[in-house]
Amino acid sequence: MTLQPRVVIVHRRTEYEELLARHGTRAQAAFFLETRGRMLDDVIGRHEAQRTGIEMTSAAIPTEWRRAEIERADLSRFVFGPEDIVAVVGQDGLVANVAKYLDGQPVVGINPEPARNPGVLVPHPPEAAPGLLAASARVPVTQDRTMVQAVRDDGESLRALNELYVGHVTHQSARYQIEAADGTSEHQSSSGVLAGTGTGATGWLRSAWQERHSSIALPDPTDPLLCWFVREAWPSPASGTALTEGVLPTGTHITITSETDELVCFGDGIEADRLALGWGQRIRIETARQRLRLVTG
């Protein structure tokens, strides 16, 4: 028997919900905001816009289909099935948060606040949900975006849509050996290493690229390429600054070997979901097999 599709609606708690959880009542939340020169009405307006987007998306799910709803904080504990259709209602960054847990499931990005969210990864209004969900159950038109992965020497791995960061757990100087795709290597002390995709090249990676006036051509979101940058490498008798940026075509990788007991690797800013590296442990960064299937129509 073939299972009916399951639509998984992913969202995050609104600022209003977080304020209520912290302060208990609407009046206390309003007082807290007023002491900081803000008004509760603005927060409630954004909350209602998101709730409307979620309700419209939920109403667009055919009655015979299965459904689930999950908050961002619970993503690491949720098991996605191969037949799932993922509807992300919220900001662009929420798509990056969920992408690392998927393996080919189509993602429909719903933007409940087009005046606030750029809509790069959530390009669709809630009104478009019925047609997009129906198309996703057949053969949807998708834009398949490249992802980056890190694989530790024991086989544990981590994926990201934008970028991976490898550095010290407290963000102080990280000590490691880096080996580039051509086999050259160097001992370094730096603020960490960034490696990511064309999607990430509009954010943190672009900041690193622009700050150093790099001549590297940043990849497009669908290019099967990665780029990487070392942040603030420090020259010393024991550490160098020759290997600080590069491009990784598919099938190539960089390797980072920890020279401290407190290195970590995490993706897309989610520090709680990370790989830890002890002294002598290695991590390989490369293009992921999985790609984000972003539904465009």
Residue 203 dihedral angles phi and psi, to the nearest 5°: -125, -115
Q: Is the pLDDT of residue 12 over 70?
A: yes
Q: What is the DSSP letter of 77?
A: G
Residue 153 tokens, joined: 């020497």
Distinct helix (H) and strand (E) counts, the chain: 6, 16
Domains of the chain plus CATH, in order, are 6-140 (no CATH), 146-289 (2.60.200.30)
Q: Which residues partner with 174 through β-bridges?
A: 190
Over the stretch 23-50, which tens digit does the pLDDT of each residue have? 999 999 999 999 999 999 999 999 999 9
Output the average pLDDT for the chain: 94
pLDDT at 272 over 80: yes
- According to DSSP, residue 219 is labeled P
Distance CA 283, CA 154 (A): 9
Predicted confidence band at 171 (pLDDT cuts at 50, 70, 90)? Answer: confident
Q: How far apart are CA 178 and CA 187, in angstroms?
A: 6
Amino acid 270: pLDDT: 85
Give the pairing type, strands 282-295 and 142-152: antiparallel
Tokens 């991976």: give the residue. Answer: 164
Q: What is the pLDDT of residue 6?
A: 97
Distance CA 281, CA 194 (A): 18
- At 217 the pLDDT is 94
CB 133 within 8 A of CB 7: yes
- Does residue 168 carry a pLDDT above 70? yes
pLDDT per position as a tens digit, 234-270? 999 999 999 999 999 999 999 999 999 999 999 998 8
The total of other beta-carbon atoms located within 10 Å of residue 294's CB is 26
What gap in Å lies between CA 165 and CA 229, rounded to an integer?
10
Q: Structure tokens of 176?
A: 């490691």
